[in-house]
Structure 1
Amino acid sequence: MNKEDIVRRIFHEELEGIVKENPRKGYEESEPVEVFKRKRAYFDLDVELLKELKMQAVIHDRNVNEIVETAIKQYLAELKK
Protein backbone atom coordinates (compact mmCIF):
# COMPACT_ATOMS: atom_id res chain seq x y z
CA MET A 1 0.00 0.00 0.00
CA ASN A 2 1.54 3.33 -1.03
CA LYS A 3 1.31 6.68 0.76
CA GLU A 4 -1.65 7.92 -1.32
CA ASP A 5 -3.66 4.77 -0.57
CA ILE A 6 -2.99 5.15 3.15
CA VAL A 7 -4.07 8.82 3.15
CA ARG A 8 -7.21 7.97 1.15
CA ARG A 9 -8.01 5.17 3.55
CA ILE A 10 -7.49 7.29 6.67
CA PHE A 11 -9.68 10.15 5.47
CA HIS A 12 -12.35 8.16 3.65
CA GLU A 13 -15.88 8.59 5.01
CA GLU A 14 -16.29 4.84 5.46
CA LEU A 15 -14.00 4.95 8.50
CA GLU A 16 -16.94 5.96 10.71
CA GLY A 17 -16.50 4.46 14.17
CA ILE A 18 -12.99 3.06 13.61
CA VAL A 19 -10.47 3.83 16.34
CA LYS A 20 -7.20 5.53 15.44
CA GLU A 21 -4.38 7.09 17.42
CA ASN A 22 -5.15 10.49 18.94
CA PRO A 23 -3.00 13.18 17.28
CA ARG A 24 -3.87 15.85 19.88
CA LYS A 25 -1.07 17.28 21.98
CA GLY A 26 -0.96 16.16 25.60
CA TYR A 27 -2.39 12.68 25.11
CA GLU A 28 -0.58 9.39 25.44
CA GLU A 29 0.35 8.02 22.02
CA SER A 30 -1.52 4.81 22.71
CA GLU A 31 -4.77 6.52 23.79
CA PRO A 32 -7.42 5.80 21.11
CA VAL A 33 -10.01 8.25 19.83
CA GLU A 34 -13.21 7.55 17.85
CA VAL A 35 -13.37 8.77 14.25
CA PHE A 36 -16.80 10.14 13.44
CA LYS A 37 -18.37 10.85 10.09
CA ARG A 38 -18.36 14.58 9.47
CA LYS A 39 -20.16 16.92 7.09
CA ARG A 40 -18.85 20.40 6.33
CA ALA A 41 -21.22 23.23 7.31
CA TYR A 42 -21.04 26.84 6.21
CA PHE A 43 -22.69 29.67 8.09
CA ASP A 44 -22.11 33.33 8.86
CA LEU A 45 -21.05 34.48 12.32
CA ASP A 46 -20.71 37.89 13.89
CA VAL A 47 -17.10 39.05 13.35
CA GLU A 48 -16.48 39.76 17.04
CA LEU A 49 -17.96 36.41 18.06
CA LEU A 50 -15.65 34.61 15.65
CA LYS A 51 -12.62 36.53 16.97
CA GLU A 52 -13.48 35.54 20.53
CA LEU A 53 -14.08 31.95 19.46
CA LYS A 54 -10.66 31.76 17.81
CA MET A 55 -8.92 33.34 20.83
CA GLN A 56 -10.59 30.88 23.21
CA ALA A 57 -9.65 27.97 20.97
CA VAL A 58 -5.98 28.98 21.18
CA ILE A 59 -6.13 29.61 24.93
CA HIS A 60 -7.70 26.20 25.61
CA ASP A 61 -5.63 24.29 23.03
CA ARG A 62 -8.73 23.24 21.09
CA ASN A 63 -9.90 23.95 17.58
CA VAL A 64 -12.88 26.06 16.58
CA ASN A 65 -14.82 23.02 15.35
CA GLU A 66 -14.53 21.28 18.73
CA ILE A 67 -15.81 24.33 20.60
CA VAL A 68 -18.69 24.97 18.20
CA GLU A 69 -19.72 21.30 18.19
CA THR A 70 -19.67 21.17 22.01
CA ALA A 71 -21.70 24.38 22.27
CA ILE A 72 -24.31 23.12 19.77
CA LYS A 73 -24.63 19.77 21.58
CA GLN A 74 -25.13 21.54 24.92
CA TYR A 75 -27.68 23.92 23.39
CA LEU A 76 -29.66 21.09 21.79
CA ALA A 77 -29.62 19.13 25.06
CA GLU A 78 -31.08 22.17 26.84
CA LEU A 79 -33.82 22.49 24.21
CA LYS A 80 -34.84 18.87 24.82
CA LYS A 81 -35.44 19.48 28.56
Structure 2
Amino acid sequence: MRSPNFTHHVGYLEEEAIHSCSEFLEELDKGNIENIPAPAISIDCLQLSAETMLRDVVMVIKADEFHHHDANHFASVSIYLL
Protein backbone atom coordinates (compact mmCIF):
# COMPACT_ATOMS: atom_id res chain seq x y z
CA MET A 1 0.00 0.00 0.00
CA ARG A 2 1.27 3.48 -0.86
CA SER A 3 1.73 6.01 1.87
CA PRO A 4 -0.83 8.85 1.84
CA ASN A 5 1.99 11.32 2.44
CA PHE A 6 3.96 9.94 -0.50
CA THR A 7 1.04 10.16 -2.93
CA HIS A 8 0.19 13.63 -1.62
CA HIS A 9 3.73 14.85 -2.32
CA VAL A 10 3.82 13.18 -5.74
CA GLY A 11 0.61 15.04 -6.56
CA TYR A 12 2.40 18.32 -5.92
CA LEU A 13 5.29 17.20 -8.11
CA GLU A 14 2.76 16.58 -10.89
CA GLU A 15 1.37 20.10 -10.33
CA GLU A 16 4.82 21.52 -10.95
CA ALA A 17 5.08 19.50 -14.17
CA ILE A 18 1.72 20.92 -15.31
CA HIS A 19 2.95 24.43 -14.54
CA SER A 20 6.19 23.83 -16.45
CA CYS A 21 4.26 22.55 -19.47
CA SER A 22 2.02 25.63 -19.35
CA GLU A 23 5.04 27.94 -19.34
CA PHE A 24 6.61 26.01 -22.21
CA LEU A 25 3.37 26.30 -24.21
CA GLU A 26 3.31 30.08 -23.57
CA GLU A 27 6.82 30.39 -24.95
CA LEU A 28 5.86 28.32 -28.00
CA ASP A 29 2.79 30.48 -28.59
CA LYS A 30 4.84 33.69 -28.28
CA GLY A 31 7.30 32.34 -30.84
CA ASN A 32 10.19 32.30 -28.37
CA ILE A 33 10.52 28.54 -28.94
CA GLU A 34 10.15 27.15 -32.44
CA ASN A 35 7.29 24.69 -32.93
CA ILE A 36 9.39 22.07 -34.69
CA PRO A 37 8.30 18.59 -35.78
CA ALA A 38 8.12 16.25 -32.81
CA PRO A 39 11.22 14.18 -32.11
CA ALA A 40 10.96 10.57 -33.27
CA ILE A 41 11.34 9.31 -29.70
CA SER A 42 8.25 11.32 -28.66
CA ILE A 43 6.26 9.99 -31.60
CA ASP A 44 7.24 6.41 -30.79
CA CYS A 45 6.88 6.63 -27.01
CA LEU A 46 3.55 8.48 -27.04
CA GLN A 47 2.24 6.67 -30.14
CA LEU A 48 1.62 9.89 -32.08
CA SER A 49 1.33 10.49 -35.81
CA ALA A 50 4.37 11.36 -37.91
CA GLU A 51 2.93 14.87 -38.49
CA THR A 52 2.93 15.73 -34.78
CA MET A 53 4.56 19.01 -33.79
CA LEU A 54 6.39 19.89 -30.56
CA ARG A 55 3.38 21.81 -29.21
CA ASP A 56 1.23 18.69 -29.63
CA VAL A 57 3.74 16.63 -27.64
CA VAL A 58 3.73 19.15 -24.79
CA MET A 59 -0.09 19.11 -24.75
CA VAL A 60 -0.13 15.29 -24.51
CA ILE A 61 2.43 15.35 -21.70
CA LYS A 62 0.52 18.08 -19.84
CA ALA A 63 -2.72 16.06 -20.04
CA ASP A 64 -0.90 12.97 -18.77
CA GLU A 65 0.61 14.90 -15.86
CA PHE A 66 -2.83 16.31 -15.02
CA HIS A 67 -4.22 12.77 -14.86
CA HIS A 68 -1.36 11.71 -12.56
CA HIS A 69 -1.95 14.80 -10.41
CA ASP A 70 -5.61 13.91 -9.92
CA ALA A 71 -4.88 10.24 -9.28
CA ASN A 72 -2.21 10.94 -6.68
CA HIS A 73 -4.22 13.54 -4.80
CA PHE A 74 -7.25 11.25 -4.85
CA ALA A 75 -5.14 8.34 -3.56
CA SER A 76 -3.69 10.43 -0.77
CA VAL A 77 -7.19 11.34 0.49
CA SER A 78 -9.07 8.13 -0.28
CA ILE A 79 -6.79 6.02 1.92
CA TYR A 80 -8.24 7.87 4.90
CA LEU A 81 -11.76 7.00 3.76
CA LEU A 82 -11.21 3.24 4.00
Greater fraction strand: 1
TM-score, length basis structure 2: 0.31
TM-score, length basis structure 1: 0.31
Query: Comparing both chains, which one has the higher relative contact order based on Cα–Cα distances under 8 Å and sequence gaps of 6 or more?
Result: 2
Greater fraction helix: 2
